[in-house]
Amino acid sequence: MPIASSASGLVRKPIVLALAAVAVAVLSACDSHSAASPGLNPRQVTVLGSGQVQGVPDTLTADVGIESTAGDATSAMNQTNDRQQAVINALVGAGVDRKDTRTTQVTLQPQYSVPGPVGGASITGYRANNAIEVKIHPTDAASRLLGLIVTTGGDATRITSVHYSIADDSQLVKDARARAFEDAKNRAQQYAQLSGLNLGKVLSISEAAGATPAPGGPPEQAPRAAAVPLEPGQQTVAFSVTAVWELK
């Protein structure tokens, strides 16, 4: 019996030692995690930077339509198509690339009389409209070509809008983005100095882009063969960036 009791005591000791080792390991892991926490959430500063650059537009886009009214649908559509084709041919003859013109809308609608006291409205004719978008570059030819459109289309001409753009603004975008980041970095550097810390590495960057086109709207319909006064102005390419820097 004493021998059995001694053996039982020997078995219990390794078990107790093993449990103690596990407890120490768990506590060590907790301490290690607590010590690493500050590294996972460093002191940081979040700033918003902005930058913009301006460029001169090199392309004018005009929305041009031809509208005709006739007693029957076929006549209205034929008159509109013939006049619109004449406008397109005139533009191509003046140097506009045919790929820079595209049809944007074709409509044909009945026109009704005013309902009388007796009976409803009746169809009095048809109105057809054929609209195209024309890209003109360089822009110094825009006034002359818009005048040509009006001369060719006559009273059936409709110019609904014009707007300027920059065909390739990739360099402007790069410059605006660089200015936005530099602005954000300067702000972050100032905050770091004010707080008595140094600026560390960038933790995250997000951006938002926006372009402010030069003002433009539908010009008044010009007299026959007259040039339309146009000013391209400047187009602004703007970026804003939100950046997070580590403070150390």
CA distance 50 to 92: 43
Question: Tokens 């007796």 map to which residue?
Answer: 118
pLDDT on residue 50: 96
H/E run at residue 61:
strand 59-70
pLDDT tens for each residue of 45-96: 999 999 999 999 999 999 999 999 999 999 999 999 999 999 999 999 999 9
Residue 204, burial from CB neighbour count under 10 angstroms (0-12, 13-18, 19+): exposed
**Residue 107: what pLDDT?**
97
* C-alpha separations of 3 from 8, 10, 160, 168, 211 in Å: 9, 11, 110, 95, 92
CB atoms within 10 A of CB 132: 20
Non-local CB neighbours of 50 within 8 Å, separated by 6+ positions = 179, 180, 183, 238, 239, 240, 241
Using alpha carbons only, what angle is made at residue 183 by residues 177 and 186, rounded to the nearest 5 degrees?
Answer: 140
Cβ density class 30-48: b for 16+ within 10 Å, e for less: eeeeeeeeeeeeeeebebe
- What the chain holds in terms of domains, given with CATH numbers, is 44-55+169-247 (3.30.110.170), 59-165 (3.30.70.2970)
pLDDT bucket at 210, cuts 50 / 70 / 90: low
pTM reported for the whole predicted model? 0.63
Dist CA 33 CA 228 (whole Å)? 73
pLDDT confidence bin for 235, thresholds 50/70/90: confident
111 vs 124: CA distance, rounded Å: 6
Q: Report d(CA 167, CA 185) in Å as an integer.
A: 31
Nearest to 150 by CA among 234, 225, 217, 203: 225
pLDDT digit string, tens, across residues 215-224: 444 444 444 4
